[in-house]
Structure 1
Amino acid sequence: MLKLRTLLLGLALALAASPAGAWWEYGHYSVGRIAFMEVKPSTRAELNRLMKKSGLLDTPTCPATTIEEVSYWPDCIKTLGDRFSYASSWHYQNVDVCKPFDQKSACRDGNCVSAQIDRNAKLLADKTLPERERLMALAFLVHFVGDLHMPLHAGDKGDLGGNRFRASYGAITGRNLHAIWDGYLADRGISNPPGNAAGVLSEVSTEQRAAWRTGTTEDWAREGWEAARQFAYGSVMEDPCGAAPETEPVIDEATTRRLIPVIRERIAKGGLRLARLLDEALA
């Protein structure tokens, strides 16, 4: 069932024109699982307590009983139509990678992923709020930290985070750069041995874990913005800020192998930073 859902979601996102979905299920699951493994025991206990009350969300087709389901919930609720349409712009921020970093220009009235990470972290920490609100804040926080660590949700070139940038992934033609990074590269990178969340985390040293947990949301956004230019666009263009290629670029096997460590680092950083935010809010 999971493989079928992943396949159907991947197909939908590959064909979509909206920049609102980041990482296919495997990416979000992995960020959430790394965080769940890294939080303090008291934080993990509180997460489990909140998730047991997921029925309060009243979204039976979008469960939130495990950290993996929680991590995917903000994408799942897009299928519920107008009920949660207010959150569509919260998943990304289109900061021009070919101009000086300017987060404010892409974050009007707090409608961007960075601002919503900070907002939902505060809501989650507020024990005076109804549990339904805190549970919803948890789901948004887990998901949005994952979103921010997908480079094309932190920076773009006026092309909807690469959705309008046509590219091919090996023999899979007629895709766009956003879908390739969302799914094909992410799934390949996370699956590369040692695979899954535990495998990704196993390659991160104690020193790196401590260093990667530091910084502010804006620091992480700037890092993702730089990754968008250097790796997402830089992998298919000699000059990331130059003219669009005349022919559809192909991310071949050699390029994929160079990008696998980048993908794994983005996932690990997202999980470790999320763990810090959860500890601060719940421990």
Structure 2
Amino acid sequence: MKLAFTLLSLYALLKVCLCFHEIPHMLVLGIAKRELMKNDMEIYNITAKYFDTFSSSGIDSIPTTSYEENAVWSDDIKSYGDAQKAMGMWHFIGNLDSNPYNLTLYKDPMADSENALNAYANIVKTLTNKNFVGKITEFKVSMLKMLVHLVGDIHMPHHTGTYYNKTFEKEKGKGIYSGDKGGNKQNILYYPQTGKKQKTNIHFYFDSSCFFYTWTSRLVRPLNQSFTNYFEIELERIMTQYPKESLNINYTQTFDDWAEESWNIALTEIYPFLMQKNVIRYQDAFYNSSFNMIQQRIVIAGYRLAYTLQNIFAAEKGKIDLTTPLSYEKQQKTIIVYNNQMPLSNSISTEYHSDKAMAVIFGVLFGLTLVSYIAFMIYFRMTYSAMKSQNRISSEYLNTKNGTMQKIPSTEQNNEHKA
């Protein structure tokens, strides 16, 4: 019984676990997938085979039911904490900074070596190592999953630098400044369509694509069919709204160029606004421009990722066995384009509320069970103590009684002796 309720409580926790940033990363890989399937099917099949090799176990993370879910693995493994600190620092760059006041800065000593730029360069070397061409190894799979995630991260403005001013002092009165940590310390107030004020920071604002991907469009992984359908609709929507031909993508640029491009956006479009105010309202001028910018960055990242994968895996063509079917291979569906920011379909919304209701029910049951268990233990302890006390009193009474009975004949004997 105890095990059953433990499992139920774990299920409830898993069902309500949210990940706000998974959709933009999955969109980047989804765009790359469509581009590869259109222009280089063999490269798509090779990368799909890499991802599928460990898809059932997820390599110490959530199992995958789709190609695109592999883009979130690098965030999933953050649950290891300090044990993977170096890989945790691969998600951003700590040496593209703005220090307009010429302050004395504090930086993590690992930042110059463990950052997105160095990580990307080393990952590419790993995936193109001549000794392992045509060999799918667990390490290469892990590095591929990391690469597709980093391409998404580096197109987010606040993954590419830190802004320094006297607000962000490391220790009060010390005169050393740690900066806004990629916008994580730049607090803002956001007013969505509902008008209900939300406190957040500018880093999260852009990572969630200006709060476009939050509660109502969250994805619970591994994806079921309803969430897969929603994702495919959103993928079609963003690719149609920002067609490849309108983006003027320069494919000669490097990963370092992409990072510089993102940081320039932060310096020219975001920080000037933040230096004047920290309030953003849905569909105000800043919201509209920043939403358009970040949505374009997602699409640009997807096309650049497809081009990158073509270059990296070109040497593996004809050397990977592609005859066995993929475990999560799905038939392509015809998707109908819908208006911007379409809410979840009724089926997905119903399933979402159903999952939430189930989580609440299991949570309540677990809570009642825990309270009952605690009450029972208290009652048992009190009863046991009372019984123990009663036994002690009874024992003492019997001992006293026996002792008295033994003294009577002894007294009589003494009287007889005296007589």
Q: TM-score range by the shorter chain?
A: 0.7 to 0.9
What whole-Å deviation, never above 9, does each CA across 1:67-89 have from its counterpart, x for those lacking one? 32210000001113455333011
What whole-Å deviation, never above 9, does each CA across 1:112-148 have from its counterpart, x for those lacking one? 1122222212222336346111101110100001110
Matched with 1:66 is 66
Matched with 1:177 is 202
Q: Are 1:231 and 2:269 an aligned pair?
A: yes
CA distance in 1, matches of 2:309, 2:156: 20
CA distance in 2, matches of 1:5, 1:177: 28
Change (3 A) 1:82 1:62: farther
- Bigger Rg over Cα: 2
Matched with 1:139 is 145
CA distance in 1, matches of 2:113, 2:66: 28
CA distance in 2, matches of 1:131, 1:164: 39
Other structure's SS at 2:69 match? helix
Q: Are 1:41 and 2:41 an aligned pair?
A: yes
- Amino acid in structure 2 at the alignment position of 1:166: N
Q: Is the deviation greater in 228-237 or in 211-220?
A: 228-237
Matched with 1:25 is 22
CA distance in 2, matches of 1:112, 1:27: 21
Shift of residue 195 of structure 1?
A: 6.7
> Are 1:26 and 1:187, in contact at CA under 8 Å, matched by a contact in 2?
no
Query: Where does structure 1 lack aligned partners over 5 or more consecutive residues?
Result: 11-23, 100-104, 239-244
- Amino acid in structure 2 at the alignment position of 1:134: K
Change (3 A) 1:279 1:203: same
Aligned residues: 251
> Are 1:63 and 1:73, in contact at CA under 8 Å, matched by a contact in 2?
no
Query: Where does structure 2 lack aligned partners over 5 or more consecutive residues?
Result: 1-10, 101-106, 164-178, 218-231, 315-419
Shift of residue 212 of structure 1?
A: 3.8
Shift of residue 197 of structure 1?
A: 2.6
Matches within 5 A, 1:100-115: 108=111, 110-115=113-118
Q: Is the deviation greater in 166-175 or in 207-216?
A: 207-216
- Amino acid in structure 2 at the alignment position of 1:78: K
Other structure's SS at 2:62 match? coil
- Amino acid in structure 1 at the alignment position of 2:137: E
Change (3 A) 1:224 1:43: same
The two structures have a TM-score, normalised by structure 2, of 0.54
| C-alpha RMSD of the superposition | 3.1
CA distance in 2, matches of 1:196, 1:134: 30
CA distance in 2, matches of 1:196, 1:212: 25
Matched with 1:96 is 97
Change (3 A) 1:234 1:29: farther
The two structures have a TM-score, normalised by structure 1, of 0.77
Other structure's SS at 1:111 match? coil
